């Protein structure tokens, strides 16, 4: 076995609650004992980001540090823990496997939106999804195009555009399909679509190749009644004329210690 190089730096990102703090203290001691340097303040030269908390903590950390290229691994002190795969009691096993390089790095595809407001363009990146919906639970009417091909005039609460990783989040609870994370695709899922003689909207989700652009144009009288939710964070912009969404060229990276982890996670978290 190759001799371990001491002094390698690791960032530990954690929630400010009792459980996460306890895990942080334990993890820091064990990493230091194995020759790692632990940073609480984010260090851009680190080789790994360890995020302690739930899925929300993972999402917030990735956004806070601007989608870094440094890979992530999560220790779950939250509830569902779909991103956070390591249990606190398995920390020793994790460190041992990490030092032996018994893992592989997987890509997580991101969604990118370009929001056109007058002559300005606002860009947002998302890990799970970007949601276009009405403010104050208002019904919205949205023209939806796929690569400039008109798909529908959607009427209802809004739409979710999710990544494969995000397909098991808001998308799944709204009736969308589960998409395997390594597929380069986006999914459009309707939120309470209206289907009547006056309005016709697709009742089910549609999976779109990741190299295609989804364009959403709010009907003129609704352009100031649109809410953009990016991984659960609300953004309100006035005078939206168009929203273009596609799979981003930017990616983040996550360590995986078991090739079957996704399917095991799926079964244990949802069935």
Known binding positions for NAD(+): 55-56, 60, 128-129, 138, 157, 168-173
Q: Please tell me what DSSP assigns to residue 175.
A: T
Binding residues: 55-56, 60, 128-129, 138, 157, 168-173
Number of C-beta neighbours around residue 42 at 10 A: 15
Bridge partners (DSSP) of residue 116 are: 121, 242
In the residue annotation, 92 being an active-site residue is answered as no
CA dihedral 229, 234, 236, 241 (to 10 degrees): -10
Bridge partners (DSSP) of residue 255 are: 105
Q: Among residues 55, 118, 231, 238, which one is catalytic? A: 55
Residue 123: exposure state from Cβ atoms within 10 A (0-12, 13-18, ≥19)? exposed
For residues 82 and 57, the answer to whether their CB atoms sit within 8 Å is no
For residue 211, what are the CA distances in angstroms to 129, 178, 216?
16, 19, 16
Residue 82: exposure state from Cβ atoms within 10 A (0-12, 13-18, ≥19)? buried
Which helix (H) or strand (E) covers residue 38, if one does?
A: strand 36-39
For residues 180 and 168, the answer to whether their CB atoms sit within 8 Å is no
Question: What are the residue numbers of the active site?
Answer: 55
């Amino acid at each position: 076995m190759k001799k371990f190089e001491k002094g390698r730096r690791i960032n530990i990102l954690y929630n400010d609650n009792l459980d996460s703090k306890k895990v942080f203290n334990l993890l820091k001691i064990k990493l230091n004992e194995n020759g790692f340097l632990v940073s609480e303040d984010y260090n851009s030269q680190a080789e790994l980001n360890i995020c302690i908390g739930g899925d929300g903590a993972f999402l917030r950390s990735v956004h806070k540090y601007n989608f870094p290229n440094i890979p992530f691994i999560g220790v779950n002190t939250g509830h569902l823990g779909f991103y956070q795969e390591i249990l606190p009691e398995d920390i020793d096993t994790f460190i041992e496997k990490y030092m032996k390089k018994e893992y592989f790095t997987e890509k997580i595809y991101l969604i990118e939106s370009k929001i056109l407001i007058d002559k300005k363009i606002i860009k947002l990146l998302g890990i799970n999804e970007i949601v276009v919906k009405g403010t104050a639970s208002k019904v919205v009417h949205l023209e939806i195009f796929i690569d400039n091909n008109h798909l529908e005039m959607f009427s209802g609460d809004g739409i979710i555009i999710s990544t494969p990783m995000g397909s098991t989040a808001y998308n799944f609870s709204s009736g969308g399909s589960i998409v395997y994370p390594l597929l380069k695709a986006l999914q459009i899922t309707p939120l309470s679509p209206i289907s009547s003689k006056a309005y016709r909207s697709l009742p089910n989700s549609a999976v779109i190749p990741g190299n295609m652009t989804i364009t959403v144009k709010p009907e003129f009288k609704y352009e100031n009644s649109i809410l953009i939710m990016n991984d659960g964070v609300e953004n309100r912009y006035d005078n939206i004329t168009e929203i273009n969404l596609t799979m981003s060229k930017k990616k983040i990276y996550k360590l995986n210690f078991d090739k079957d982890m996704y399917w095991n996670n799926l079964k244990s978290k949802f069935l």
